Structure 1
């Protein structure tokens, strides 16, 4: 996501905040949302019993975004199964949680696209894994990866996305891009061989999107969709222009 996209997203979030009635600004102690748009009724009553562990490497800017989704995971999973650590560069010497995960390379993987990434469907089910997710815009995630040498030797896994993201209140780079909670939900549902995990984690996300849309937020399409349909208002790179002229896929150029 470009700097201009980031700025547009921030302005959109500010509009969302201002559109809510002033009396609704009292925040829920648990989900930290305004009480009138509290997510707690949509969260699981008890933490979901999962065997695998999520390690979320969150860019500091993501923590400040009111529409972040990693919070849903923190509130839905046992505290020992979901850990969020923040930074722009991660190494095992500084972060003991990462160090512990890297001690078991056969059962640890990073959800990140790349030529060497394997499909999630090829990862064995029902065995506990350490799942590393980078949380932020695509540009922030890419910077974290390239600045974190310890991540480059971790097995990489990619999702085979069959449908568009439900997270329609932020602009995604491509049609295959997902929010952090969607990525985790699909992965956990596969590893635990339990579809209900996905369904349970989608309820608060859908509620979040519904609340925001009802308070005036715009429905966002991916940058890829906007470009392909002639709706993207900003300049596009020559590489993308060439791909379009040759009727080739552009999603890898956007990433």
Structure 2
């Protein structure tokens, strides 16, 4: 008999995350462009992030036809959260009078680069980056590079910078509960052997 699923967070009803998902407001508008390969991912942190933010949207696809219209909204200054040689630290660009439209690609690094390639309007945007010394809370997967965060961590960190002194830690509660649940499911001994302190 299939397990009943929560229609909102898509988790089994016995592990529903909805009570942990906040409803946070922000000046910054967040648009997550998710590669289709991420939709079925067990954690799907991009979805959790946009569910917890009032001024956020998740779009799934590879080519986004109406992107130019979204990016040209005069009420927002569009920036792409993605590393690059010409990227500026987010803290240095957060003083503009207009709120930011923060575009966040969601996928592996290779898939995220593909999104940029398939959507030239993204490649033309000013790029912003997070501080390089950040540590991911995702204890079940070794980061592909120093400072790499999950999508929900990157969004929460970006909003902490852009909207200081407001804090967005509450956005991470369902993410941390998911990780704890996976650790419990695998057993503490297996976690310690395979993941704890394995840097």
**Is TM more than 0.5 here?**
yes
Task: Please state whether the residue corresponding to 1:130 is helix, strand or coil.
Answer: strand
Q: Give yes or no for the alignment of 1:156 onto 2:127.
A: yes
How many residue pairs were aligned?
Answer: 193
69-78 or 133-142: bigger deviation:
69-78
How far apart, CA to CA, are the structure 2 residues paired with 1:103 and 1:163? 31
Deviation at 1:127, TM superposition (A): 4.5
Q: Give yes or no for the alignment of 1:83 onto 2:57.
A: yes
Deviation at 1:195, TM superposition (A): 4.4
Gaps of 5+ in 2: none
Higher helix share: 1
Deviation at 1:41, TM superposition (A): 2.2
What is the match of residue 27 of structure 2?
51
Q: Give yes or no for the alignment of 1:208 onto 2:183.
A: no
Task: Please state whether the residue corresponding to 2:91 is helix, strand or coil.
Answer: helix
Tell me if the contact between 1:105 and 1:154 (Cα under 8 Å) persists in the aligned partners: no
**TM (normalized to structure 2)?**
0.85
Structure 1 residues 100 and 51 mapped into 2: Cα distance closer, same or farther (>3 Å)? same
How far apart, CA to CA, are the structure 2 residues paired with 1:113 and 1:99? 24
Task: Please state whether the residue corresponding to 1:196 is helix, strand or coil.
Answer: coil
Task: Please state whether the residue corresponding to 2:175 is helix, strand or coil.
Answer: helix
What is the match of residue 40 of structure 2?
64
How far apart, CA to CA, are the structure 2 residues paired with 1:174 and 1:104? 35
Q: Give yes or no for the alignment of 1:35 onto 2:6.
A: no
Tell me if the contact between 1:127 and 1:191 (Cα under 8 Å) persists in the aligned partners: no
Tell me if the contact between 2:134 and 2:148 (Cα under 8 Å) persists in the aligned partners: no
Deviation at 1:159, TM superposition (A): 0.6
- 1:182-223: CA deviations, max 9, x gaps? 1110111211113421x11111111111011111187576xx
Deviation at 1:144, TM superposition (A): 1.2
Correspondent of 2:93 among 107, 123, 128: 123
Structure 1 residues 170 and 73 mapped into 2: Cα distance closer, same or farther (>3 Å)? same
Task: Please state whether the residue corresponding to 2:167 is helix, strand or coil.
Answer: helix
